[in-house]
Amino acid sequence: MERLIEGAGKLGMKLTTGQVKQFELYYQELVEWNKKMNLTAITDYSSVQVKHFLDSLTVTLALPEEVTSPDFNIVDIGTGAGFPSVPLKILFPEPGLVLLEPTRKKTAFLHHIIGKLALKNVEVLNSRAEEAAHLPAYREQFALVLSRAVALLPTLVELALPFCRIGGTFIAQKKGEIGEEVTRAKEAIAVLGGALRQTRKVESDEFADARYLVIIDKIHSTPGKYPRRPGVPKRRPI
Ligand code: SAM
């Protein structure tokens, strides 16, 4: 895990021996399960350390200070094999975490990996965001909403902001040329009760392409009709 240890160090984090062992185990299980189902196209040891583990940990650049407070909680929309929130949970074990993922095979892996890594206070929710966001147990309940590689921003904010409590934050991980995507999302952000705080470039020579954290504050309640029916946010973004 040398590349991860070094990259995390540059982000200001020193991984403990226990955390390194957890990442090692995560890697082994990911690759093993990937033989029987499609979890990731990235499987070589070095690339997983950088493109999955370290990339997930770049979220720490924008984490609110309250991350260790008892009522802090996180939901990861479309987490797939657990990115970005499972690496984050390895570093910050305290906050409650909901892993939202509609593909049942992936949720089987998520159940397996949280058991293997002995992570506490984690719920795996097998649902689409459009459905789960209307359930009172999840609607406007989270201090932090995360999402990586799920949808273009105008769609993604409709899937994510309804989960965020007022005063909370949504961080979307994005890469490439995102200026126009962010501009196109501005109306949706406002309609859904958000305010764009910052598009922060991740300064790291570990990544060949440009990576960004789009940081959105939740300042008003999301109108009850959002998110719209499954598939509509993608087909007809606000
Ligand atoms: N976030 C993970 C990562 O960065 O590796 C997975 C990214 S994968 C490209 C996109 C994931 O989003 C898939 O696992 C898919 O099932 C999930 N997804 C797609 N539409 C969704 C929706 N409407 N609600 C929740 N999850 C969704």
Q: How many other CB atoms are found less than 10 A from the CB of residue 184?
A: 14
pLDDT digits (tens, 9 = 90+) for 181-222: 999 999 999 999 999 999 999 988 888 889 999 999 999 999
Burial (CB < 10 A; 0-12, 13-18, 19+), residue 22, is: buried
Name which of 142, 160, 148 is nearest 81 in CA terms: 148
CA angle 46, 50, 53 (to 5 degrees): 110
Beta-strand ranges (E) seen in the chain are 73-77, 96-100, 122-125, 142-148, 164-175, 194-201, 211-218
CA of 173 to the centre of ligand 1 (A): 13
Which residues does a 6 A CB cutoff place in the pocket of ligand 1?
Answer: 77-80, 83, 100-103, 106, 128-130, 148-150, 159
pLDDT digits (tens, 9 = 90+) for 111-130: 999 999 999 999 999 999 99
pLDDT digits (tens, 9 = 90+) for 50-97: 999 999 999 999 998 888 887 899 999 999 999 999 999 999 999 999
Domains observed in the chain: 2-235 (3.40.50.150)
CA 59/CA 212 separation, integer angstroms: 9
Which of 124, 150, 155, 158, when mutated, tests ligand 1's pocket best, judged by the most ligand atoms within 8 Å of its CB?
150
pLDDT digits (tens, 9 = 90+) for 31-41: 999 999 999 99
Provide the token pair at 5: 């240890």
pTM exceeds cut of 0.95: yes
Contact 161, 190 (CB under 8 A): no
